[in-house]
Chain A
Amino acid sequence: MAPGLSIAIAEKRFGSAPPLFSDFRLEVAPGSILALLGPSGIGKSSLLRLLAGIDRDFSGTIAIDGVAADRAPMPGFVFQDARLLPWLSARDNVLLAAPALGAPAAKALLDQVGLGGRGPDFPAQLSGGMQRRAALARALAANPGLLLLDEPFVSLDAALAAEMRALLARLIAANQPSMVLVTHDAEDAARLADRAVVLAGRPAAIFADLALSVPQAERDEAQVAEYRRRLDALAKGPA
């Protein structure tokens, strides 16, 4: 069951720097695919880490279906880099997230992301795109209701990024999770999200909150281009 998110950060800061978030609130409906956009350093990735419970050093509350983020069921997390452990095979990297899954189910997951037969290979034996797909399989291993993705297509070439977007769209359709996608690329949001939030300022605040109301599966290229144009304009932030 895809959970809803309720974010109320009283303050988050790093050391003596000005706060990254102050009195920041955001609600995400169950099953929503939310894209978080904004300039570099605005706090998108930091917010994702707070949602995942990786960083617990903040004041306020983040609840996933009413449960504090660090006690809620583990979300699937995809880092900017594949971050596979080089000493484990692709299959064991997937099993690291869900040891009880078992080898056949891990293989099925790798099949699902197009890595059938590559389970025994070490990450160094996989191409960059394959490593990203293995990381996606790892994020899905525990069958999470919530997926958190931190710029998952960054530094991929255009063709590979398009392939990964299509794969992610298929996985979303198959698994129906809630998802928060941090990206700097309006294309990602225009193709995958049903809501886009643009952050701006310091402390970060919601500058724009746009509903992408045409269902993802029904968007044609013209609709995607229109969403991208609007998001590109918003992503420039306040004048």
Chain B
Amino acid sequence: MLSLPLLLGFWQVLAMLAAHRLFPTPIAVAEAMATLALEGRLLEDLGKTLARALAGFGLAMALGIALGLALGRQAWLDRLFSAWLVVGLNLPAIIVAIVLFIWLGLTETALIAAVVINKVPLVIVTIREGVRSFSADYDELARALRLDWWTRLRRIHWPQLLPFMLAAARTGLSLIWKIVLVFEVLGSDGGVGYRVSVFFQFFDVTAILAYTTSFILVVLAFEYGILRVLERRAFAWRRA
């Protein structure tokens, strides 16, 4: 935690020495953040980006988990789609976005669909590996105890899948934050990416850094406020 004040101090000193409008001090950036939040559209833009990222994330996770489970359980499905999965994993995100913007227009649907298409293959692969790592011993235990499918899912499979789901969520979110911003630059009517591209036209580095810092704070809030809390609760037994 000490690194953060050190970095801010270093940045402040360097910016004061440079004394140039293209290299603002952290204090100036913090002031800009407050101004943009109170008088500008910072909160509105953050909300838009967050809504897009969460919609894309939710859809990609739901689809990816369902398909990952199917491919992990059914070898023939895996053989059928494994080549497409490789294509999906390596497809440049920008091309997907451009094609969807051309087909569907500069709409929310196109943007979220582009996010989902980019993210889904990664979730599928992670979940498929999770399913493949299911313990045969626990499956045998489930048969010995004659557990119904719901109890098997809840008590046997879900806990084994959870680390893979959290890994997919974490890598997924980090990817989605970035591509949502790029897609907003390409075509949208608001959001952090869109606004940063506007500030770029004016070389307004202070505003760009104010937006970037706000965005980073949101990402950190997700990581430490939600993901790590979930992780701690889900894996309490590992620390026992």
Across the interface, A96 reaches (CB within 8 A) one of B137, B140, B155, namely B155
Interfacial chain B residues near A125, Cβ < 8 Å: 240
Which B residues are CB-close (under 8 A) to A233? none
For the complex, what is the distance from the CA of A87 to the CA of B162, rounded to whole Å? 11
Known contacts A85-B155, A88-B155; is A122 also within 8 Å of B147 by CB?
Answer: no
A83 within 8 A of B: yes
The answer, yes or no, to whether A180 is at the interface (CB within 8 Å) is: no
Interface of B is mostly: helix
Indicate whether A83 sits within 8 Å of B141 (C-beta atoms), given known contacts A96-B147, A96-B155: yes
Q: Does A77 belong to the interface (CB within 8 Å)?
A: yes
**What is the chain A residue whose CB lies nearest that of B234?**
A87
Flag whether A121 is at the interface (Cβ < 8 A).
yes
Q: Does A207 contact B (CB under 8 A)?
A: no
Which residues from A are CB-within-8-Å of B20? Answer: none
Query: Which chain B residue has the least Cβ–Cβ distance from A84?
Result: B141
The answer to whether A172 has its CB under 8 Å from any CB of chain B is no
Task: Please give me the residue from chain A that is nearest to B137 by CB atom.
Answer: A83
Q: Fill in one digit per residue for A78-103: 1 if any B CB lies within 8 Å of its CB, else 0.
A: 01010101111000000011010000
Residues of A near B159 (CB, < 8 A) are 85, 87
Asked whether A124 is an interface residue with its Cβ less than 8 Å from the other chain, the reply is yes
Contact among B140, B141, B143, B240 with A122 in the assembled complex (CB-CB below 8 Å): B240
The answer to the question of B79 belonging to the interface, with a C-beta cut-off of 8 Å to chain A, is: no
Do residues A124 and B145 form an inter-chain contact, with CB atoms below 8 A? no
The answer to whether the Cβ of A53 comes within 8 Å of any Cβ in the partner chain is yes
User: How far is the CB of A42 from the nearest CB of chain B, in Å?
Assistant: 20
Kindly report which residue of chain B lies nearest to residue A150, judged by CB atoms. Answer: B144
Contacts of A79 in B (CB 8 A): 137, 140-141, 144
Residue of A83, A85, A87 ringed by the most chain B CB atoms within 10 A: A87
